[in-house]
């Protein structure tokens, strides 16, 4: 009996061991196969990317870029999977405007903005006068885009743009940006190693996309380079030049937070609210509809046309915004972004 039990134990043990070995082998073989599959897949992506680069280079040659520029450019380009991943995993923004403003414009940023406007006073005054753009808006954009130049992104611009174009979901857009980036490189504004930006290709302290750079960047200090990465004169002039070219009106501010009084017919919101130019009305007309200052008192009766915007809904923050806000929308189409720039500019004026 005891012998039988012993034998039984042995058989069971052997069985267990052989099962173990079998599963280990299975595991190893499947993972080996998986690795084999993965590297085959990787090889095929690599070769597709190489083909894509060759085709891009031909297109660039057709556009007249020299071999000298293209050799430097294409030697630097690598597939950046991180960038494509970042593009696919953009968080859905479900923030309220209140929450957005407190994260985008925290008190420390206001304090820094106030310091920066003093630190660069001489230069900012010069730029303000030349372009007709109030310096607090220049500094507010600078602060919101790159934390006053500190966070510009360190992704190689060319590699990011080509990777995103290759990914294919917005190929036309990123290819256009890529050729604009090649133009920037060929004009010698930046060295290839310093040609960096956000994962999506927004560059320098003003976070211009390459096409915006070509339309708006300025050589503020006259050294022949439009250096939005590290030359304050160029950064401030470029920001101001963007706003000036897009219709900034130095005589006006951007907007104001308002309230809808009880006399405002909430059912007419869809008729009146929104950025469409034909919905702009003078302050008196808004007053007559029941819009008041945020403190509940009457709006000023100045002859300025304004749009009513509700970035969240009627229970959130409500603003009357002027033409300069429409200019900010040319910079970035997000209402939240536009309000955050105006909000920071107002805090700068207040000094805290």
Binding interface with Ca ion (CB under 5 A): 219, 221, 223, 225, 227, 231, 234
Radius of gyration of the chain (CA): 29
Minimum CB distance to Ca ion smaller for 174 or for 236: 236
Minimum CB distance to Ca ion smaller for 210 or for 342: 210
Smallest separation, CB 136 to Ca ion (Å): 23
Cβ burial, residue 52 (10 Å; 0-12/13-18/19+): middle
What DSSP character marks residue 208? B
Minimum CB distance to Ca ion smaller for 221 or for 292: 221
**Upper half-sphere CA count for residue 72 (Cβ side, 13 Å):** 16
Smallest separation, CB 236 to Ca ion (Å): 11
Cβ burial, residue 49 (10 Å; 0-12/13-18/19+): middle
Minimum CB distance to Ca ion smaller for 83 or for 235: 235
Smallest separation, CB 146 to Ca ion (Å): 17
Give the pair of three-digit tokens for residue 103.
Answer: 């994260």
Minimum CB distance to Ca ion smaller for 79 or for 190: 190
Q: Give the integer Cα–Cα distance in Å for 215 and 180.
A: 10
Cβ burial, residue 132 (10 Å; 0-12/13-18/19+): middle
Cβ burial, residue 221 (10 Å; 0-12/13-18/19+): middle
Give the pair of three-digit tokens for residue 74.
Answer: 């294409």
Q: How remote is the C-alpha of 119 from its chain's centroid? A: 26
Minimum CB distance to Ca ion smaller for 231 or for 323: 231
Smallest separation, CB 127 to Ca ion (Å): 13
Q: Which residue is nearest to Ca ion (CB)?
A: 219
Smallest separation, CB 196 to Ca ion (Å): 18
Smallest separation, CB 121 to Ca ion (Å): 20
Minimum CB distance to Ca ion smaller for 171 or for 219: 219
Q: Give the integer Cα–Cα distance in Å for 147 and 123.
A: 19
Smallest separation, CB 249 to Ca ion (Å): 27
Smallest separation, CB 219 to Ca ion (Å): 4
Q: How remote is the C-alpha of 329 from its chain's centroid? A: 13
Minimum CB distance to Ca ion smaller for 194 or for 223: 223
Question: C-alpha angle with apex 269: 265 to 274, nearest 5 degrees?
Answer: 150
């Amino acid at each position: 009996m005891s012998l039988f039990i012993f034998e039984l134990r042995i058989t069971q043990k052997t069985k267990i061991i052989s099962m173990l070995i079998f599963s280990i082998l299975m595991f190893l073989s499947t993972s080996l196969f998986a690795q084999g599959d993965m590297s085959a897949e990787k090889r095929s992506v690599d070769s597709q990317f190489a083909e894509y680069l060759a085709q891009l280079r031909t297109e660039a040659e057709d556009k007249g870029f020299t071999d000298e520029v293209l050799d430097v450019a294409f030697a630097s380009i690598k597939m950046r999977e991180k960038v494509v991943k970042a593009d696919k995993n953009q968080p859905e923004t479900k923030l309220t405007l209140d929450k957005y403003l407190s994260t985008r414009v925290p008190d420390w940023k206001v304090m820094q903005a106030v310091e920066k406007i003093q630190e660069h006073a001489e230069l900012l005054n010069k730029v303000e006068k030349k372009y007709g753009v109030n310096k607090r808006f220049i500094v507010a954009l600078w602060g919101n885009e790159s934390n006053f130049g500190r966070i510009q992104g360190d992704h190689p611009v060319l590699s990011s743009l080509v990777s995103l174009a290759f990914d294919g979901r917005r190929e036309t857009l990123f290819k256009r940006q890529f050729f604009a980036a090649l133009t920037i490189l060929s004009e010698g504004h930046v060295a290839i190693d310093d040609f960096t930006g956000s994962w999506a290709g927004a560059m320098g302290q003003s976070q211009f996309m390459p096409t915006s750079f070509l339309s708006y960047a300025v050589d503020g200090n006259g050294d022949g380079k439009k250096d939005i990465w590290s030359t304050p004169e160029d950064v401030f002039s470029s920001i101001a030049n963007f706003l000036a070219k897009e219709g900034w009106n130095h005589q006006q501010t951007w907007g104001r937070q308002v309230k809808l009084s009880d006399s405002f017919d909430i059912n007419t919101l869809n008729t009146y609210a929104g950025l469409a130019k034909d919905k702009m009305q003078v302050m008196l007309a808004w007053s007559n509809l029941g819009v008041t200052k945020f403190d509940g008192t009457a709006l000023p009766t100045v002859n300025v046309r304004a749009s009513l915007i509700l970035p969240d809904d009627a229970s959130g923050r409500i603003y009357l915004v002027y033409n300069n806000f429409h200019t900010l929308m040319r910079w970035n189409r997000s209402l939240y972004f536009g309000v955050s720039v105006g909000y920071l500019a107002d805090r700068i004026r207040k000094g805290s």
